Amino acid sequence: MLVTGAAGFIGHAVAKALLSDGREVIGLDNLNAYYDPALKHARLARLHKHDGFSFHKLDLTDQSGMLALFEAHEFRQVVHLAAQAGVRYSIEAPEQYISSNIAGFTVLLEGCARSGVEHLLYASSSSVYGDTEKTPFSEQDAADRPRSVYAATKRAGELLTCSYARIHGLPSTGIRFFTVYGPWGRPDMAAITFANRLAGGNPVRVFGDGKQRRAFTFIDDAVRGTLAILKAGPPSGQPPAALYNLGSEEDVELLDFIRMLGREMGAEVEIEFAPEPPGEMRATLPDMSAMRRDFGFEPNVGLERGVRDFVRWFRKYRG
């Protein structure tokens, strides 16, 4: 099985769960410097402890390298979790998002279609819902007014995959992840950014009024949901393409999350407000009825437990 983004946050966690189940995993990542590569190497070191893991440092846009990878292995399943992530950075460097999330994804789709992959499972994002005040978000919503370049590229990936399902019969399932946090997370994401500020005795910078609402989803639930979809097999519709929300159903205000994090860390919370940048969404909350109906999946890690487990890891990793 191929897992792209294997050195990334969700990719590493999914790959580790598969390896722990006795699956053989070929990991792919370009190990770029969007954030400290040392964290990526530390994640890979955990995967290399498993005999069934091998790794290729490769960029999705390397067409010859990707073609050689698909020719050398008869992948039945591909879990595509590689992407250029980050809403705010997509405004500064849009070309990187177009390159990775559209051009690179297209190279992967070609490889899957030509080699007869039986099921492509790929990561999308709650950001695709864009400009809408309706919550919770349903997979049936239009998702046609993205607020950032990142969101636009993730929605473009969904549409490209649907096209490949229709034209080539490539079975695919997209997962719209909602605000995933937890151990081994990205340092540019809210949980680690806030924890670093609190640990240093510094004010926590909040963009906007802090009343944004999020479905903070613990990494274990994100992994369990991903594996549930993978185990169930490819979608059976025509075209064989499906989309699912995957997130917590707890409606949490950003300031409440920061206060809970501060209490768990035993740190005094001081907020420093800053202007809200473009691209931010006021609320991202999932309708999980499709996951419940099709896979019997329920998120089961509440915010209190998730924050506690995250802080335990953060203290250990930070040393």
Q: Is 238 exposed, middle or buried (0-12, 13-18, 19+ CB in 10 A)?
A: exposed
| 189-217: b (≥16 Cβ within 10 Å) or e | bbbbebbebbeeeeebebeeebebbbbbb
Alpha-carbon torsion angle 220, 223, 227, 229, nearest 10: 110
Which two three-digit tokens encode residue 248?
A: 């917590």
Which two three-digit tokens encode residue 32?
A: 């770029």
The yes-or-no answer on residue 150 being catalytic is yes
Q: Out of 129, 150, 164, 244, which one is annotated catalytic? A: 150
> Do 73 and 24 meet the contact criterion of CB atoms below 8 Å apart?
no
CB atoms inside a 10 Å sphere around CB 56 = 18
Rg of the chain over Cα atoms, rounded to whole angstroms, equals: 19
> Do 59 and 22 meet the contact criterion of CB atoms below 8 Å apart?
no
C-alpha–C-alpha distance, residues 216 and 179, integer Å: 5
Helix, coil or strand: residue 263: helix
Positions marked active-site: 150
